[in-house]
């Protein structure tokens, strides 16, 4: 814990003024993530996951607290982290290759250099033969790959993934998880991953943060210290199931309290 954190959230909170009073979207959240770790956030909808991501990405100014990246205050600064939203958001008028280099292009890398850098990666990571196609010709899984490579090619140490596989079918989802783990071990990025899928969260991460609503907050941080590489069968081990049960317990409790409050 005393290892200098790559990404640190210090009492980040978010409140909105509504006609009905002040709405607390996010109670002060404190989180420290070390370099190269893979952590997940799970929680019911409305628990402030997206708000938190927008704050970390600098797209939303928090009502309180700071976002510290590499020891530098990055609150409200854009371009410090790679952010992949739920939708792939590929530009339909650009080829897959030109979509992937968007981040570099915006950062001022000359087009040809950016393309030269991206091309081998596209080929290595499952998009060989698709480089010069338009996104409309790609399947959901392929589009998601392109979007993720775009996030990676932006070349920040921290990447935020907001339910990247949420819309994929179960089979594709499993493939994409393996693919993501491959990328993660190759690139050594620090990943913050949001999902609704408990099993996905535990399978992928070093640490699962369970969130709750009203106000949005992290209720518990559960370490998932299962040895890597993890075979698929790991999901059947008692260790895995124990973590899963704990997560479910917390989520159900959060759900019940939300229902009680509503009633």
Partner 1 sequence: MTVQETSRLAGVVSEGARAEPIVSVRPARKIRRLPVRKDWPLWAIIGTQIGILVAAIALWQIGADHGFIDGFFWSKPSAIFNTLVTFFTEGDAFTDIGFTFRSTIIGFLIGTASGSMLGLSFWWSRNYAAIAQPFIICFESLPKLALAPLVILVFGMGLMSKVAIATALTVVVSTLTTYAGVKAVDPDQERLFYSLGASRMQVFRKLIVPFCLPWIISVLRVNIGLALTGAIVGEFIASQHGLGRQILYAGQTYDIALVWVAVLVLSTLAIVMYVTVSWIESVLRKGVKQ
Please report, as ranges, the residues that interact with partner 1 according to CB under 8 A. 54, 57-59, 78-83, 85, 87, 89, 91-93, 102-103, 105-107, 134, 154
Residue 57 CB, nearest approach to partner 1 (Å):
5
Min separation Cβ 257 and partner 1, Å = 31
| CB 180, CB 147: distance < 8 Å | no
Q: Which of 127, 120, 134 is nearest to 148 (CA)?
A: 127
Tell the smallest beta-carbon distance from residue 150 to partner 1 (Å). 9
Nearer to partner 1, 92 or 238 (CB): 92
Which region, left, alpha or beta, applies to residue 90 given φ > 0 means left and ψ of -120 to 50 means alpha? beta
Length of the chain: 263
CB-nearer residue toward partner 1: 57 or 218: 57
In angstroms, what is the minimal distance from the CB of 1 to partner 1?
A: 29
Q: Is 134 left (phi over 0), alpha (psi -120 to 50) or beta?
A: beta
Is residue 183 within 8 A of residue 125, CB to CB? The reply is yes
Q: Are 192 and 33 in contact (CB under 8 A)?
A: yes
Rounded to whole angstroms, the Cα distance separating 195 from 204 reads: 11
> Would you say 89 or 248 has its CB closer to partner 1?
89
The reply to whether omega before 231 is within 30° of 0 (cis) is no
Q: Which is nearer to partner 1, 57 or 250 (CB)?
A: 57
The nearer residue to partner 1, 106 or 128, going by C-beta atoms, is: 106
């Amino acid at each position: 814990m005393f290892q200098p954190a790559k990404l640190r959230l210090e009492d980040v909170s978010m409140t909105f003024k509504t006609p009905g009073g002040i709405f607390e979207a996010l109670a002060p959240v404190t989180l420290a993530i070390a370099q190269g770790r893979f952590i997940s956030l799970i929680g019911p909808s409305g628990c402030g996951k997206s708000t938190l991501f927008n704050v970390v990405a600098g797209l939303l100014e928090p009502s309180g607290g700071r976002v510290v990246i590499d020891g530098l205050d990055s609150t409200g600064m854009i371009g410090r982290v790679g952010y992949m939203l739920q939708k792939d958001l590929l530009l339909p008028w650009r080829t897959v290759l030109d979509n992937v280099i968007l981040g570099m292009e915006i950062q001022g890398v000359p087009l040809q250099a950016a393309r030269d850098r991206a091309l081998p990666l596209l080929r290595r990571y499952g998009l060989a033969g698709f480089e010069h196609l338009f996104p409309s010709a790609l399947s959901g899984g392929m589009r998601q790959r392109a979007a993720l490579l775009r996030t990676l090619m932006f070349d920040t140490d921290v990447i935020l993934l907001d339910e990247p596989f949420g819309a994929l079918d179960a089979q594709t989802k499993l493939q994409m998880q393996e693919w993501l783990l491959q990328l993660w071990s190759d690139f050594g990025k620090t990943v913050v991953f949001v999902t609704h899928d408990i099993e996905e969260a535990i399978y992928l991460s070093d640490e699962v943060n369970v969130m709750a609503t009203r106000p949005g907050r992290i209720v518990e941080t559960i370490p998932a210290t299962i040895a890597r590489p993890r075979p698929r069968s790991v999901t059947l081990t008692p260790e895995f199931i124990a973590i899963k049960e704990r997560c479910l317990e917390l989520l159900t409790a959060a759900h019940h309290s939300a229902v009680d409050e509503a009633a």
